[in-house]
Chain A
Amino acid sequence: MIKIQQKKVITITICIIVFLASLFLSVMYGGMPISLKDLTDWFLGVQTDNAYIIELFRLPRAIKAIIAGSCLAISGLYMQTITKNPIVDPYITGISAGAGIALVLGVLFDISPFYYPVLGFAGGLLVSLLVICFVGVNRFSLAKLVLVGISVNLLISSIISLLILLNRNKAHNMILILSGNLNSSLFVYESLYIIFAVIMIFCLYITPKLNFLRLDHNIASSISTKSKTYNILFLVLSSALASLSVCAAGILGFIGIIIPHICRQLFGLDFRWLFFAALLLGPSLILLSDYVARSVVYPTELPIGIIISILGAPLFIIFILIKGKKFL
């Protein structure tokens, strides 16, 4: 027992180191090289040009990456646990579709890019709540949710494709906005931080409950009559988290699927550890990808969503091959 515990402590320490390393990389490297001295300058409040760069560009960007990464990873963790389905991602309830169509319509009607984050957030949340209502709270079933979610996703993504095909002159912008990025200037920073903090505190409060909900659905609902309510609560929470990530960084695929899997392989199904693992590893992947996206073809910046898949897919496949025998 003690041995298992020690192993987990070591693994979480490695996760913390990975997170700090990727945070460091992403803050330090970019168009303007920044030295350690600049960092200490900024920290001590000395006003230099490079300190300004850190304060005004690098840090907000890193924070957005952290918010997006942790929201997506935790949302994916919740969604996969509640549906007991390992290939479900946070967008299953139609968040990517809702956010996508809101953004594409935003491009179509020439709405200022300033409002895109809010547009994505609202679209995603709206469609996901709609899907959950469709499935119905009273006669709620998880299989129904997954199927309705997939259908709505398919329906809306074909409408998006149609919109892209019909508007050739704006197609480039539309595709770009759909692949996610971190450089949207956000006018709702404060409210984003506050919402993120509030949701995270609520997650801290409620996450251990998943250790109970990991039991068979029938047994869980037999022991606690509220277990169905909690299932729905977790779904709504996970939709809110995913929408928040859309607000911070656009639609980023893949993270919500692979990070929960990696965490589960490292820590087993104990959500007290999984929560923090997801909280550390999700942002790490985005920060690393962001660093790569900015530094590969300087000065052009590649869409981060593409880098995440290019970087993440091989990493995940290697991980599966190493852990192969144990995997599912």
Chain B
Amino acid sequence: MINIKNGQICFNKQVFLDNINISLPKNKFTLMLGPNGSGKTSLLNIIGGVTKLSKGLFSNSFTKTILIPQNTSYPQDITLFEYLSSIYYDSNWKWSLSKKEENEIYFILNKLNIADKKDLLMNQLSSGELQIANTGLCLLSKADFIILDEPGSNLDIINQIMLLDILKQLTTQNISILGVMHDLNLAAKYGDYFISVSRKGKVCSGSQEEIFSSQNLTDVYNYNINVVEVNNEILAHPKIK
């Protein structure tokens, strides 16, 4: 569980986000929505424990949290397999991988559909594949709370769906996930719980019904957005003039 009470985020003594009250449910797929520059990443950093609230209470009851930032550097000159194996060298005197660890990496590679790329160097992979690789790191890290800043930004629509399916499936294995998502329709389909950060710095959280209303989304994006329900699927359409 993550709890934030009366949180406030300031930059250079200027209030950026105020009155943040969030409690994230356990074992759910939570998605964060909001326009660029509204403060989603700042909020993620607070939740991930990278930075601290300027004011207010924050508590994290997960045993291990991992946060994958939006832009990360990748070591060159190693293969995808070696990249994923990096995570096991966290202990000292670790001169070789055990068979079990190797198998675990193969399992993850297969699960993410990148097993055929395992011997390619990191600079030969596309940026989408690199993002998937980072998700692989999350799965290997044994974290029970995974925070992903725009995990799907470089992925094609099929890979986005594949990734979201995997993440959704993880929530049944005692893992909670928080991600930033810009595709409203996919978000509505996959998310269990939502946080919206509006352009004016208002933070709301709630279930699908609470967040996905035309009124709320229009407020969040400061743009006319129409939410309709077709065959039990929620579709959000920005009005294009």
Contacts and interface: CB of A to CB of B under 8 A. Distances in A.
A84 B92 CA distance: 21
Contacts of A269: 75-78, 82
A224 interface: yes
A166 B93 CA distance: 51
Interface in A82-98: 84
A84 B76 CA distance: 11
Contacts of A221: 50
Contacts of B78: 214, 268-270
B153 interface: no
A48 interface: no
Contacts of B89: 208-212
Contacts of B85: 211
B120 to A, nearest CB: 12
B92 A219 contact: no
Contacts of A215: 75, 86-87, 137
B134 interface: yes
Interface string A59-95: 0000000000000000000000000100000000000
A114 to B, nearest CB: 39
B72 interface: yes
A216 interface: yes
B165 interface: no
A8 to B, nearest CB: 12
A107 B221 CA distance: 71
A317 interface: no
A222 B76 contact: no
B50 A222 contact: yes
B61 interface: no
A222 B119 contact: no
A224 B90 contact: yes
Report the contact-size class of chain B (Cβ under 8 Å from the partner): 20 to 34
Interface residues of A, number: 27
A215 B81 CA distance: 13
Interface string A1-33: 100100000000000000000000000000000
B65 interface: yes
Interface in A200-259: 204-206, 208-212, 214-219, 221-224
Contact of A218 (B72, B93, B95): B72
B180 to A, nearest CB: 15
Interface string B47-84: 01010000000000000011111001111111101100
A294 interface: no
Given A205-B92, A209-B90, A272-B95, A214 B134 contact: no
A208 B94 CA distance: 6
Contact of B67 (A205, A212, A218): A218
A209 B68 contact: no
A212 B73 CA distance: 14
Given A84-B73, A215-B75, A272-B95, A222 B87 contact: no
B90 A264 contact: no
Nearest to A222: B67
Contacts of A328: 76
B87 A212 contact: yes
Given A214-B75, A215-B75, A223 B90 contact: yes
A1 to B, nearest CB: 7
A197 B74 CA distance: 34
B48 A216 contact: no
Interface in B92-144: 92-96, 119, 134, 137, 141, 143
Contact of A219 (B65, B72, B77, B119): B72
A222 B73 CA distance: 14
Interface string A259-273: 000001000111010
A59 to B, nearest CB: 30
Contact of B69 (A209, A219, A224): A219
16 contacts: A1-B81, A208-B95, A209-B90, A211-B85, A212-B86, A212-B88, A214-B75, A214-B78, A215-B75, A218-B72, A222-B68, A223-B141, A268-B78, A268-B82, A269-B82, A272-B95
Interface of B: 48, 50, 65-69, 72-79, 81-82, 85-90, 92-96, 119, 134, 137, 141, 143
**5 smallest beta-carbon distances between A and B, as pairs:** A211-B89, A216-B72, A212-B89, A214-B75, A208-B94
